[in-house]
A and B are shown apart, each in its own frame.
Chain A
Amino acid sequence: MKTKMLTCLILLFAFGFGLFVFADSHEKEEEMNKLVFPKAYKSTTVKDGGKISGVVKFEGEVPEKKKLEITKDPKVCGVTDKFDESLVVGDGMALKNTIVYLMDISQGKDFDKDAKVEIDQKDCRFDPHVQIIPVGTVLTMLNNDKATHNVHIFGTKKNNTEINIQQTKNRKKMRLTRFKSKNAEGPVEVKCDIHGWMKAWVAYVPHPYFAVTNEKGEFTLEDVPAGTYKLGYWHEACGTNNKEPVTVTVTAGGEVKQDFTLKLKK
């Protein structure tokens, strides 16, 4: 009886362990497309911080700009032409909408309290396409269209902060108060089901060292305390460098240049 029991236990443990490993490998794949956050972050005053800046460029054949088919409300949505924004490449191969950030910073400046955390719905397009949201901050959705939208934010697999709420044309401003994310996560997709082409991304982040590249592919991270950090990026179509982050060393008051060249995700 004793041996049987022990065998059972051992088998059970082995099985459980197997499951754990299996589940882990499942999640790892998803983690590859997410941002990496430090275990904890403490905000202090940063004196004489350094600066990290650079340009993100795209490498490879630039696919033809895909014009979006306006299948609905042409009077409101069809006024301007809209294009697929999953890969926006500007002059000199500059790559827009790339998040560049510090993966492992554990203390630094506080969030800019005045920064606007909002996404505008105008001409049936989300603006901006990528929005950084400090954890616990309320995202405000503006509706400047004479059309009804629905704001559908997808949760990550681990954490279902699902939002799907209708914003009729009468509601110019909607603060998603009830849905503020307590945990750092993302980026997760934002969608309007009514106008199926409308897509954007939001990331809930625990510290302010995040930047999104502009049309010229430029980014700047300011007030970085002196030290050595892992610099990561995320792009909708090009993926992340989670496996091989770039290491940068910031000196007090100094400036570090770090450019990236991204290829399409396989």
Chain B
Amino acid sequence: MRTKNVVHLVLILGLLSVLNLTYAQDTPEVSEEGKEVYEESCAHCHGIEGRGDGSAAENLLPRPRDFTRGLYKIRSTESGQLPTDQDLFDIITIGMPGSSMPGWETSLSANDRWEVVAYIKTFYDGFKESETPPRQISLEGKIPYSEDSVEIGKVLYTQFACFECHGNLGRGDGTSAPTLQDEWGFKSWPANLTQSWNYRGGNGIDDIYKRFIGGIAGSAMPMFEDPAFGLTIEQSKRYNELDSKVEMTESEEEEYNQLDEKMGNAYEILDLMADGDATEEQKQIYDTAMKAFNVKSWHLANYVKSLSPEKQPEPAIGKNVLRSQYTINELPEIADAAWETLESSYFPLVGQIIVEPRQFNPTIDSVNVKSFYNDTEVVFLFTWDDRTHNTEVEEDEDTGTTFEDAIAIQFPVKVPKGPTAEKPYFLWGGRKAVYLWQWKASDADKVTELTAKGINNAEAQEVQGDIQAKSEYTDGQYKLWVKRALKTDDKKDLQLESGVFVPIAFSAWDGANGDVDTKRVISSWYSFVLEPVPSSRRFIYPPLVALLSFGLLVGLRQFVRQRNT
């Protein structure tokens, strides 16, 4: 009886330990911890099951990654390959600038981040199934950054057809930009290459290089192949030169045909290589062509790098405050060179998410401002990037709503005296009214004066003052030039005075992004000042003070000496 019990016990224990073992094997401990971290920190966007459908996902663009598809945008691996663990770890650590994915370096330990990497990989079977590690993009043959390289890259930018989406100057305003979608059918905008702080995968030259060798999976960004495969940089430049000619001479035609044939051969070899049918000789041609392609890609990466400042500019507060510069001359026109002499002040803008309908996915990220004034007038130059030029008012057939690009510059009606004095509510006023200049793309050379007491409570002033306006749209950028007298007779207008800090704020609309009415981008209150003319006192007082202090010293000595005697 006893022995039977013991045997039972042993059997049960044995069974339990086996069960335990299999359990441990199926879900390794790493993932259990990773699951915990994932559900605490990631699931609200990426979903409990990794489908990218967390409770916050709906209002985000780009949408949170759906891990069940194994599609990863930012990889160090070739097109069609899965990312490496390090790639996933880096994304979690650094985040994806310009999207709602933050970096987790400060809030998750390195160990936790690795656990999460292990856990999110369980959502896609492809990670388990793949026997060989993903092929990584080789960074061999990197060409160091130089002005010359940038020049070459600039030509290649056109040859590689980057401008189709990213625009001539890289502002993401290419003619294909308005129709791009991501894999899930959501609107997707090509990167504005002049804002490197928003590059999702980082703005290092290596990062940029990896993006066009590997493509950005799930987006419209294709994997690039050499558009002039088999040709050197010089040859491809020549080929494109000849290609764009309306008429070629006989010798030119011959040259063109030769290059064309060379290219055709190389492309055929490319296909043969993939089939594994290439001869040794063909392999050599292929190797040379691939090298040339890599060289071209590095030049291109250097060019893209040159398009943007390294860092996001500092916002216009504190010492960076917008200062309108005095001039005794005529105020400059929109295209005058005088503007180049001023540093611009940077005002970041964000989606308006206070009043419905709200804008959770803004496309305009900032406005840059410069200003001059003279004894009677002030002039501003507002510059902002917008990938699309929506002048013709587009109507929503169902609601009759119209969409167009616009901007509004907001001031208080009266400048509050002293820093603690009440300002109007920053979002188009409230109890206290604001004074606005509103510009719309459909009426490009006009600014309307508005008075507003709330975001839904704005009216055009009955008496429109004499405000001059001009605007331009080129290569994804708006320029708006506005000139007004410092003083007006209208009590509803802001009156300007040199040396006084005036609150200023902005609203902007991108018609292509569905911006209309309260759906827009906004800033909070900033300030600007008509910088006082440096007074001539600065040449008179200091010498006086110096003389006086010298006199005091002499006097003191005399006094002491007298007392001594």
Contacts and interface: CB of A to CB of B under 8 A. Distances in A.
Interface of A: 2, 5, 9, 19, 71-73, 138, 148, 150-152, 154, 157, 160, 162-168, 170-175, 177-179, 193-197
Contact of B222 (A157, A165, A196, A197): A165
B271 interface: yes
A71 B175 contact: yes
Contact of B274 (A5, A177, A197): A177
Nearest to A192: B176
Contacts of B80: 162-163, 178-179
A201 B264 CA distance: 27
Contacts of B160: 166, 168
B416 to A, nearest CB: 48
Contact of A166 (B70, B181, B224, B263): B224
10 contacts: A2-B16, A168-B228, A170-B239, A170-B263, A177-B271, A177-B274, A178-B274, A193-B179, A194-B176, A196-B179
A194 B160 CA distance: 13
B178 interface: yes
A72 B161 contact: no
Contact of A160 (B69, B175, B178, B271): B69
Contacts of A148: 161, 164, 227
B274 A166 contact: no
Contacts of B271: 138, 175, 177
B275 interface: yes
Nearest to B163: A148
A123 to B, nearest CB: 17
Contact of A165 (B165, B175, B178, B225): B225
B183 A154 contact: yes
B222 A152 contact: yes
Interface residues of B, number: 43
Nearest to A19: B49
A241 to B, nearest CB: 25
Contacts of A163: 80
Interface stretch (B213-221, B317-325, B398-406): B213-221
Nearest to B16: A5
A75 to B, nearest CB: 12
Contact of B70 (A160, A168, A172): A160
Interface string B140-173: 0000000000000000000111001100000000
A134 to B, nearest CB: 16
Interface in B225-250: 225, 227-229, 239, 243
B12 interface: yes
Contact of B165 (A9, A73, A179, A194): A194
B71 interface: yes
Contacts of B175: 71-73
A196 B227 contact: no
B14 interface: no
Contact of B179 (A71, A151, A172, A173): A71
B145 to A, nearest CB: 25
B274 A193 contact: no
Contacts of A19: 49
B183 A173 contact: no
A136 B237 CA distance: 37
A164 B126 contact: no
B127 interface: no
A160 B126 contact: yes
A172 B175 CA distance: 23
B19 interface: yes
A9 B218 CA distance: 38
Given A9-B19, A197-B179, A152 B220 contact: yes
B460 interface: no
Nearest to A179: B80
Contacts of B243: 170
A165 B225 CA distance: 7
B228 A164 contact: no
Nearest to A69: B179
Contacts of B10: none
Contact of A71 (B49, B69, B178): B178
A195 B71 CA distance: 23
A193 B220 contact: yes
Interface string B253-288: 000000010011001000100110000000000000
A159 B141 CA distance: 34
B564 to A, nearest CB: 94
B140 to A, nearest CB: 21
